[in-house]
Amino acid sequence: MDLFTAIETRRSVKHYDPHHQMTEEEIEKLLSYTILSPTSFNIQNWRFVVVQNPEIKAQIKAVSWNQAQVTDASIVVILCADLKAWAKNPQRYWINSPESVQQQIVPMIGQFYAGKELLQRDECMRSCGMAGQTLMLTAKAMGYDSCPMIGFDPLALAKIINLPEDHVISFMITVGKAIQPARPRSGQLPLKEVMVRDSF
């Protein structure tokens, strides 16, 4: 499937085959492409909690308005991020770059994020957003469907997955084999309403 087809046909699917299981190879492929997504300063602050365990999925469903796709989908991917990734051995993010580049870029990371909690959180959300779109398009290209979700209790979900204190949850995505198509697009705004040239 080419990229344009994947973009056009990716929809938020709610109904999945509860008996279908993704293979470990498929899951690894899905996430291997997802981590090619960009992050600021290459800090790769996203963390992906891949949930297959039926008991844990049932717990997540209970704090997600009992939405059936949580337990019916093959996997649930919870997109989290490390708020302090920028400070955790940042040299490793540039290990394959020339020494001169490392000496220039690595010190800038701490200077940019230190003491700026709101910026750190914003960066987590940006990173997860880009990774989530990559994940969903990759899933579509692999013959799977997906659904991004924010309908859950974040505090309860954090407890279920034992989220570290310096991490934050952005959203989650269900991935699996659709048994019903998504509803028709409900109301796409025209491009002329959402695209602004040069300035408002």
The verdict on residue 32 lying in a domain is yes
Instruction: Give, to the nearest 10 degrees, the angle between helix 117-141 and helix 99-113.
Output: 120
Is 73 within the bounds of a domain?
yes
Cβ-in-10-Å burial (0-12, 13-18, 19+) of 153 comes to: middle
16: CB partners within 8 A, 6+ apart? 69, 72, 73, 74, 145, 174, 176, 177, 178, 179
**Number of folded domains that form the chain:** 1
Question: What Å distances lie between residue 161 and 55, 71, 76, 166, 181, CA to CA?
Answer: 12, 16, 12, 14, 30
Q: Express each pLDDT in 118-153 by its tens digit.
A: 999 999 999 999 999 999 999 999 999 999 999 999
Tell which phi-psi region holds residue 66, choosing left (phi > 0), alpha (psi between -120 and 50) or beta: left
Q: Is residue 200 part of a domain?
A: no
Q: What is the pLDDT of residue 138?
A: 98
Q: Find the domain containing 186 and state its range.
A: 3-194
Does residue 199 form part of some domain?
no
Q: Identify whether 11 is part of a domain.
A: yes
State pLDDT tens for residues 66-104: 999 999 999 999 999 999 999 999 999 999 999 999 999
Instruction: Identify the CATH number of the domain in which residue 149 sits.
Output: 3.40.109.10
